[in-house]
Structure 1
Amino acid sequence: MTGASRAAGPPRRDFLAMAGLGATAVLLSGCGIGRAAPRGALRAAFGQPVTDLDPYNAATAVDEASLIVKRLVFDTLVRREGGELVPGLATEWRREGDTRWVFTLRRGVVFHDGSPVTARDVVACLQHTRQVPSAQTPLWATVTGAEAPDDHTVVFTTEGPLGSLPVNLTLLFVVPARLVADPAQKRSPVGSGPFRVTDFTPSTTVELARFDDYWGGRAELPAVSMPYIAETSTAITALLGGDVDLLWPIPPDQLPEVTGASGVAVESVPSWTYYFNWFNCSRAPFTDPVVRRALCHAVNVPQIVESLFGRGGREMRAPIPETVAGFAPQEPWAYDPEEARRLLRRAGLGRGFRTTMMWFDATGPLARELAQALISAWADVGVTVEPQSIEKAMWLERLNSLDWDMNLQTNTVTTGDAAFTVGRLYTSEAGRLGYANKDLDAVLAAAAAAPRGPERDALYGTACGTIWSDAVGLFPVTLVTGYGRAKDLTGFTPAANNQPDLAAVGRR
């Protein structure tokens, strides 16, 4: 039996039962999930826990679950709607020469505490986020400064041309200057977004109330309640029973339970979320690209994607999804166990080796099953992998300190632009997976400097090819996100980045 043929493994529920994952952060009882939420609140359950709300926390700077809440609580100068960049706190912006950008701020905007939003707040936020090393740091590496000539003008200066500055600014959340380093921002932050935080218990629930003085107009519903429900089966029960209004992502193997159910609508969207398995390129034997390529050849990716995800996933052809700006298709790694063994012998590992893989189950649908499929495939070529399924907070700590051999996770191209992933994660300076390539650095620097358009996309396409051929990781599947929602909700639009605009959601 080949590793690929074992990939499907037992059904998802059997895995959950074997793992003993019976505890949930919110219990389904006679009173129901979300009954503590204010009357009329939108009860929305995302598949990952929110651990922190500080927009500048290094560990959660690009954490998907935290970003969903942050986009409701904070504002940014620029927002993304579909494929377009649109005004946020900034009403307009212009580029003056190669190294200067001028943004004009919206007038009359106030924070949740009633204080006005000024250019000085934006400058303080930029300065602080540049001082806190995080997964966002590469986005701001060439921004040399920001100044506020008046209350409604912000001027950014860069080392050289930086065409990605506007799209990067969709991630610069603005808070009062006096609070940029306040520890209280982790639990009860102050922003200027359409909702304010009323209660937050990490990894359990977030409670938000509508901010009636929001510059963009009042949100449709008075509150948003976001419980974290660890078991998908429990979350689906809550959705079907009316205790949750919105649930995502629904794993592809469990969509049939929701599809066609009374009072529930199902919508799917090809997402910017994908799985990857990184190799720690600073730790032997993964310092050798021959070993990394061997492990790529050992996996029957098409069969795993089909057997586990079906219509809920698409086989990847690059280190970013095909709908992301800068995508360029690469030649898939041929499934060839004998070639994998030959490469291992060439690397002096003909007898195989032992290593580890870490992940956290809530990273995405079928994470444990995908991990087992990969581990099984590698066992067939003599590589023994110790599975390490750990709690999210510990996983984040180990990820950021490079304390791992292999790391399996999902990632979302939040901005829909290759700069967010290819340009942020794979520079030598970023050091995210122990990989350093000066030639790639030069390509990425040129891409960052180029204006949005074909030349820039081609440079990121070249970078995609280098990352793929150097086998810094295995990129198996882009996910199709399934959303389940109560039919009486209005104004809901599925989001490719898993961060739907909940402020626009209403109820019939």
Structure 2
Amino acid sequence: MTSSISRRVVLQSMGAASLLGGLGLSTRAAMAQSTSLRAAITGYSVINTLDPAQATLIPEYYVMWSTFNGLMKFDADMKLVPDLAESYSPIETGGFEFKLRPGVKFHNGEVLSSEDVKFSFERVMSPDLASPNASKLSEVSKIETPDPLTVRIHTKAPYAPLLTFLSNSRTGTQIINKKAFEEMGADAFSRAPVGTGAYKVKEWNAGEGLTLEAHPEYFEGAPSFAKIEVPLIAEEASGVTALKGGQIDMTSTVPAADVAQLMKDDSVTLLRQPGLNTRFISINLTKAPFDDIHFRRAISMAFQREAIVQAVLFGEGVAADGIIPPQLAEYQSGTTRKYMTYNPEAAKAELAKSKYKPDEMEVPVITWGGGWWKRFAEIFVAQVNQVLGTKLTVEVTDANAAYARQKSGDFVAGVWGWLGMVDPDEYVGGLLTSTGWRNFQGYSNAQVDELAAKGAAETDPAKRPEFYKQAEDIAMDEVALIPCFFSNISNLLRPGIEGFDQKAYSNYGDQFYKMKEA
């Protein structure tokens, strides 16, 4: 899976030379003395947990990818390769047998065993925990540990996404230390988790950030940086200012508005490519007015997605007529979806079929912050109201409240999106099936459920896409949600830092151990 942007911008300079010169140091000499990396999480101000079984937010994964490992991982070419597993082989009836790397040590010195793997997965699977990541292992029927280095994961039937869902990506199946969890308890563990990753949590200040320290016995070799400072910077633009001012070394995101200028700035390193993400208007199909298919079809045709890409993303993305991103091109149907295309006259005609009049009620659209998510809502609302005469309004809250309301069903509409999802089942299965944990809309269609199940069971890569294409076509015809765009991902680094390999799923923390001073 490779970038469709033809060039990756890597522009370096000695922009900090004057500052360092004043201290009597050359730039290179000063960098060589650095033992810490200041890797800011930008655009987010909240981390709720570092327990993989409970994680939901992308900034949580940004940290966890450096503190944990999965059985599998994605290499630089986005191919699945073993991580904590040394090798794996399929089980004829469904599932895989994994041979673990011997001698892998957790942060507390305990040696990884098959019991840790079994414990980690069974926690996620437990109905009592109600893990948001339970769907990743929903097809697992049994886990066997015949010896300390062998794990057999049996599935009810062949299950194509399993290896992906056991990777160190946005899965929640990262391996934790059983002994540490049982001794610490869930709450303490969620703030000071014990994994096998290159870094461990030293300090966590809620709302401010974290300090990570190197795990010297990391199985891939001790990291170059002894410490990682991870400040939380709520506004992406503030992250750019902090980096250019020498206060941080890298950012997890870059404001779309700044990308064009930063591409020309030889005092920074900009990494940029299309991302594995989907951005949409989440609509509550159980409440008026979105319980009416004609109303939601009208809304979907009443705004220009391309205009939003330009106004919100400054061109750093592409318009969407579905939820599966271009990076998974083989799973896109390629059909023209009339209800996902700007057509004011057709939108008005569709609204005339609705049981609701355009100005009958106010329709709040939830958003948060003051950045691009807020602009997203504002532009969407303004366009729709202008075309249809509706009374959509913008309701601004914070990101945590927006998520909580979506999850509980306490909303009518809201800007929303997910990133870091690498398998089509995470899009169709997670967002569009009746049991999908990301299906906050309340959408339900038995045919979509059946097609998604067939797609997950189909292990032939050539046959699998057709099931997801059909499922998405049905859901988009019924406007299960209102797709808007897919955005590029970008990271910013100061000169002299190397080793960060950007991947399409926004793999921030998993590269810390590879990074070093040039």
Q: State the TM-score, normalizing by the size of structure 1.
A: 0.87
**Could you tell me how far 1:189 is from its partner in structure 2?**
0.9
Shift of 1:262: 4.8
The residue type paired with residue 89 of structure 1 is L
Question: Where do residues 208-287 of structure 1 align in structure 2 (5 Å cutoff)?
Answer: 208-287=212-291
User: Which residues in structure 2 correspond to 1:289-304 (within 5 Å)?
Assistant: 289-304=293-308
* 1:65 alignment counterpart: 59
Map 1:303-322 → 2, pairs under 5 A: 303-322=307-326
Aligned to 1:135: 132
SS of equivalent to 1:311: coil
Asked if 1:337 corresponds to 2:334, the answer is no
Task: Supply the AA of the counterpart residue of 1:475.
Answer: P
How far does residue 368 in structure 1 lie from its aligned partner after superposition? Answer: 1.1
- After TM superposition, the structure 1 stretch with the greater mean CA deviation from structure 2, 221-230 or 423-432, is 423-432
Residue aligning to 2:47 = 51
Structure 1 residue 423 and structure 2 residue 433: aligned?
A: no
Counterpart pick for 2:491 among 483, 495, 503: 483
Contact 1:236–1:258 (Cα < 8 Å) also in 2: no
1:121 lines up with 2:131 in the alignment? no
The secondary structure found in structure 2 opposite 1:471 is coil
Does the CA contact (< 8 Å) of 2:287 and 2:412 recur in 1? yes
Q: Which runs of 4+ in 1 moved over 4 A?
A: none
Supply the distance in 2 between the matched residues of 1:260 and 1:143 (Cα, whole angstroms). 50
Residue of 383, 399, 412 corresponding to 2:390: 383
TM-superposed CA distance for 1:98, in Å, is 2.9
How far apart are 1:452 and its partner, in Å? 5.2
Residue 439 of structure 1: SS of its match in structure 2? Answer: helix
Does the 8 Å CA contact 1:110/1:116 hold for their aligned counterparts? yes
Cα distance in structure 1, aligned partners of 2:303 and 2:390: 12
Contact 1:298 1:335 in 2 (8 A): yes
Task: Determine the structure 1 residue equivalent to 2:83.
Answer: 88
| Partners of 1:319 and 1:467 within 8 A in 2 | no
Structure 1 residues 57 and 165: CA distance shift in structure 2, 3 A: closer
- The number of equivalent residue pairs is 466
| C-alpha contact 1:139 1:424 (8 A) present in aligned 2 | no
Q: Which moved more, 1:393-402 or 1:190-199?
A: 393-402
Q: 2:221 aligns to what SS in structure 1? A: coil
The residue number in structure 2 matching 1:75 is 69
SS of the residue corresponding to residue 127 of structure 1 reads: helix
Q: Which moved more, 1:154-163 or 1:383-392?
A: 383-392
Partner of 1:11: none
Shift of 1:234: 2.3
Query: Residues 134 and 382 (structure 1 numbering): CA distance in 2 closer, same or farther, change over 3 Å?
Result: farther
What SS does the corresponding residue of 1:225 show, helix, strand or coil?
strand
Question: Which whole-Å CA distance do the structure 1 matches of 2:152 and 2:69 have between them?
Answer: 18
State the secondary structure of the residue aligned to 2:364. Answer: strand
Determine the C-alpha separation between the residues in 1 that align with 2:432 and 2:158: 20
Question: How far 1:442 moved relative to its partner?
Answer: 0.5
1:176-215 pair list within 5 angstroms: 176-178=177-179, 179=181, 182-215=186-219
Inter-partner Cα distance in structure 2 for 1:361 and 1:233: 13
Identity fraction in percent: 22
Q: CA RMSD in A?
A: 2.0
1:425, distance to aligned residue in structure 2 (A): 2.5
Q: Distance in 2 between matches of 1:128 and 1:369?
A: 39
Paired with 2:174 and 2:291, the residues of 1 have a C-alpha distance of 37
Cα distance per residue 1:121-145 (max 9 Å; x no partner): 1111111101232432222222122
Superposition deviation, residue 407 in structure 1: 2.2
Residue in 1 that maps onto 2:400: 393
Contact 1:251 1:312 in 2 (8 A): no
Gaps of 5+ in 1: 1-37
> In the alignment, is the contact (CA less than 8 A) between 1:426 and 1:432 conserved in 2?
no
Residue 327 of structure 1 and its aligned partner are, at CA, apart by: 3.0
Return the offset for 1:258.
3.2
Matches of 2:440 and 2:355, distance apart in 1: 27
Aligned to 1:165: 162
Q: Which residue of structure 2 lines up, in the alignment, with residue 35 of structure 1?
A: none
- Give per-residue Cα distances to partners, 1:107-165, cap 9 Å, x unaligned: 10111001111111111111110123243222222212212111111111222111211
CA contact (8 A) 2:53 2:132 kept: no
- Asked whether the 8 Å contact 1:413–1:421 carries over to 2, the reply is no
Give the TM-score normalised by the residue count of structure 2. Answer: 0.85
Structure 2 spans left out of the alignment, 5+ residues = 1-32
How far off its partner does 1:50 sit?
4.3
Determine helix, strand or coil for the equivalent of 1:155: strand
Instruction: Quote the residue 1:33 is aligned against.
Output: none
SS at match of 1:374: helix
What SS does structure 2 have at the residue aligned with 1:117? coil
Task: Provide the residue aligned with 1:461 in structure 2.
Answer: 469
How far apart are residue 56 of structure 1 and its match?
4.0
Which residue of the partner structure matches residue 148 of structure 1?
A: 145
Distance 1:386 1:316 in 2: 23
| 3-state SS of 1:444 partner | helix
2:409 corresponding residue in structure 1:
402
Report if aligned partners of 1:240, 1:261 keep a CA contact under 8 Å in 2: no
Aligned AA (2:285): C
Shift of 1:318: 2.3
Which residues in structure 2 correspond to 1:26-41 (within 5 Å)?
39-41=34-36
